[in-house]
Amino acid sequence: MQITTFKYSILGIDEAHELALLMSRGSSDAHSLNVTCVDITTEAQNALLKILEAPAAGMLLTLHHPNPSALLPTLRSRAGAGHFEIYKLEAYAREHSDVKAFLKAEGPARLKLIAPLVVKMDEPEEKLAQREEASAFLLELEQEAYKIKDWPLLEEIERGLRHVAERELPVRVIMEHIALMN
């Protein structure tokens, strides 16, 4: 079996098209594509769904993601169907010492804690790194919020993770919204 590994911070539509091309080729030997990503856009997920409708013989796509529950339900439902598997990416978790303090704090104190994550960035590489840091913080915050069963906050964190991945809103807006939740 041939195994090809891809690592993305954000798996976007262009990367999904690249994977689609590889998946459509098929081969006489079994071929596994192992994809690790921190975030994945909705467009990329839809592209993967199209690939999985009629995968080439002998192809297996394995997706490693830090929060599989944030993936589209239709994509999750395809897992285990023989050509597609999803695994939770545990290794990505970073430790943000401020997460527990963030949960205990209120509005203004929370804004101070997230200040390093929301500094204005100009360069594309800096913006991408900032999105990765925001995602890592939100993923850790999600775990802590789950432990204390803060369901409204969990909903907003999941929404925030989607916005970070989709690049719909500036990181500052997303993080400040979550910080100001009671």
Note the pLDDT tens digit of each residue in 79-123.
776 677 877 766 544 555 688 899 999 999 999 999 988 888 778
Q: Which of 52, 38, 154 has the alpha carbon at shortest distance from 92?
A: 38
Give the list of residues 6+ apart from residue 5 with CB closer than 8 angstroms, or none: 34, 35, 36
pLDDT of residue 93: 47
Tokens of 1: 């079996």
pLDDT of residue 82: 66
Least confident span in 13-22, 62-71, 85-94, 151-160? 85-94
**What are the phi and psi torsion angles at 177 (to 5°)?**
-60, -45
- Mean pLDDT, all residues of the chain: 83
Least confident span in 38-52, 120-134, 152-166? 120-134
Q: Is the pLDDT of residue 12 over 80?
A: yes
The owner of tokens 């944030």 is 70
Residue 54: DSSP 8-state? S
CA 134/CA 20 separation, integer angstroms: 28
pLDDT of residue 95: 55
The owner of tokens 């909705």 is 42
Stretch 20-46: mean pLDDT: 81
Higher pLDDT, 80 or 181: 181
Q: What b-and-e string marks burial along 48-85, b requiring 16 or more CB atoms within 10 Å of the CB?
A: bbebbeebeeebbbbbbbbbeebbeeebbebbeeebbb
pLDDT of residue 139: 83
Residue 78: DSSP 8-state? T
Domain range annotation of the chain: 2-88, 98-179
**Residue pLDDT, tens place only, 45-79:** 999 988 888 777 778 888 888 878 778 888 888 87
pLDDT of residue 178: 94
CA 73/CA 52 separation, integer angstroms: 14
- Separation in Å, CA 77 to CA 6, 69, 95, 96: 22, 11, 31, 32
- CATH code at 2-88: 3.40.50.300
Higher pLDDT, 97 or 181: 181
pLDDT of residue 140: 84
Q: Which of 78, 35, 87 has the alpha carbon at shortest distance from 53?
A: 78
